[in-house]
A and B are shown apart, each in its own frame.
Chain A
Amino acid sequence: MKHWTAEELWQYREGNVRGREKMAAHLEECAECREELERLDEVFAALDAMPVPDPGENYGTRVWRQIAPRLGEPRAKWWQEWFVPRHLAVAAGMAALAIVAFYFGRISKPTPAHLVDADAASTVRERVLVVAVGEHLGKSEMVLVELSNAQPAENGKKLINISSEQKRAENLVEENRLYRQTAVEGGDNAMASTLDELERVLLDVANSPSEVTPAQFEAMQKRIAERGILLKVRVVRQGLRSAETQRKAEPAEEESTKAKEKNKV
């Protein structure tokens, strides 16, 4: 007669086993397996019998009193930060400036240059965003490369300290969320999708314990590799760089064409 293994019996007890009826029938017949199952029951009964000292009825209030002096201002969600009084004042100031500029614009003689300036401002804003996203991707890539290239079992270490990478990932998550939202609003689905995937990986790192075992570290490296996020980040960064180089080249070409025309005249 084949006896069930301890693991199979545990799975049976957990209710996660296929062929449950067959096992139940075997347990009816086999005293040894039944005894083994009872042994497992004893373990769980002993766990249940372990007391947890009552921290007292007002424990919650006590915890609050202990932590309240250490609480700073809670960090609001990024969009909520705009509704902080200080930010509202800045926004109101900017709006007032815009109204004044608009008013002077109306009373002064309009020239085509104004239209050119508006276009230029929009282009500058876009460029600033591209540079910022590029930098963000660069920083993220650095964290992921460091994690991917580290040797988990180096010097026979039992625990690997990733607190520095964890801290950096935590900061990058916030930035990433902001850029992802901007990409979604701007309809840049490819960018939004890459940033979404990057955010998951960064969150994974940020929410890890500060010290991990080599096995956990390897699992983390595997997750990073499986998602292919490093390659995706590099491709997007390269795309941003090429677009920026092209943009820089365009005004130079325009300038040279204008100069040629002028010379002809």
Chain B
Amino acid sequence: MVRMRASGEQLEGVESSDAEAVARTLSGERDAYRVLVERHSQYVYRLAYRMTGNREDAEEVVQEAFLRAYQKLHQFAGNANFGTWVYRIAANYAIDRLRQRKSEDSRREQPKRAADGQAETDALDTMKDRAPSPERLAGSAQLAEKMKQALDTLTPAERTAIVMRHWDGCGIDEIAAVLKSSSTAAKNTVFRAVQKLRLALEPFAEPRGAARAAGTEL
């Protein structure tokens, strides 16, 4: 499913030893679970970091994902891929974390906004206004920082969709399964995320006509 996966015999070997570790854990050998944790922590961490945007939250997501996987191990189908399974659990938990964070942030921001008399606007509209000038974005570190900020303006579902699609090469159906939505909705979510990121990076390029997004005849 995901890019980090090897192919052929190597993959088969990893999967069979994963299955063995799962079976041993289920038979009461708790330490067998250590093999699975050590083997899959790194890439679950990469997913978690890209979704949460900070190390502390990412590490919490990893721990929680492995704890949940352990508690639900009896529900894990033996013929499935443990890596894919724990990846999904992590993605689901990360969405919950992001939503929780967003609602906490909005609760904190609401009184401030009311005091300033500001109306709530879509992140897509505000992104350009908040953008620093092209000069300030010259370096790649600044570009990365800008992208980080842009990712923070995405909704949890959009962020999950773009992380899964772009970095981990997941199929639309897989994204739909994590987002609990239809394939069409998942595809739209990925595209919405791409559009928001594209607008956020607009200061890098020459201004373009707004008609473009609608595909207007010229």
Binding site for B on A (CB under 8 A): 1-8, 10, 32, 35-36, 39-40, 42-44, 46-47, 49-53, 55, 59-61, 63-64, 66-68, 70-78, 80, 84, 158-159, 173, 204, 207-213, 215-216, 219-220
Contact = CB atoms under 8 A, between A and B. Distances in A.
A70 B50 contact: no
A60 B39 contact: yes
29 contacts: A1-B217, A5-B212, A5-B214, A6-B213, A7-B191, A42-B201, A47-B167, A47-B197, A49-B143, A50-B50, A50-B144, A50-B147, A53-B55, A55-B45, A55-B59, A59-B42, A63-B63, A67-B67, A67-B70, A71-B33, A71-B67, A74-B71, A75-B72, A76-B27, A77-B74, A80-B27, A207-B92, A213-B157, A216-B179
Contacts of A84: 28
B106 to A, nearest CB: 8
Contacts of B34: 64, 68
Given A84-B28, A211-B100, 11 more contacts: A3-B215, A5-B212, A36-B208, A42-B201, A46-B146, A50-B50, A64-B37, A71-B30, A71-B67, A77-B26, A209-B180
Contacts of B106: 158
B66 A63 contact: yes
Contact of B50 (A40, A52, A77, A78): A52
B49 interface: yes
Contacts of B217: 1-3
> Which of A1, A50, A80, A210 counts the most B-chain CB atoms under 10 A from its CB?
A50
Contacts of B148: 50
B5 interface: no
A204 B59 CA distance: 27
B73 A75 contact: yes
Contacts of A5: 212-215
B194 A40 contact: yes
Interface residues of B, number: 67
B140 interface: yes
B70 A74 contact: yes
Q: What 4 pairs between A and B have smallest CB-CB spacing? A: A60-B38, A5-B215, A60-B41, A75-B74
B115 interface: no
B161 interface: no
Contacts, number: 159
Interface string B40-77: 11100110011000010001001100110011111100
B123 to A, nearest CB: 14
B181 to A, nearest CB: 6
Contacts of B27: 76, 80
Interface of B: 25-28, 30, 33-34, 37-42, 45-46, 49-50, 55, 59, 62-63, 66-67, 70-75, 92, 95-96, 99-100, 103, 106, 140, 143-144, 146-148, 157, 162, 166-167, 179-182, 185, 191, 194-195, 197-198, 201, 204-205, 208, 212-218
Contacts of A76: 26-28, 74
B99 A219 contact: no
A39 to B, nearest CB: 6
A46 B201 contact: yes
B215 A208 contact: no
B91 to A, nearest CB: 10
B19 to A, nearest CB: 14
Contact of A63 (B41, B75, B191, B214): B41
A1 B215 CA distance: 11
B201 A63 contact: no
A71 B182 CA distance: 35
B31 to A, nearest CB: 9
Contacts of B182: 219
B103 A63 contact: no
A36 B206 CA distance: 11
Contacts of B103: 158-159
Contacts of A71: 30, 33, 67, 70
A220 B198 contact: no
A230 B96 CA distance: 28
Contacts of B92: 207, 209
Contact of B180 (A50, A67, A220): A220
A140 B179 CA distance: 24
A239 to B, nearest CB: 29
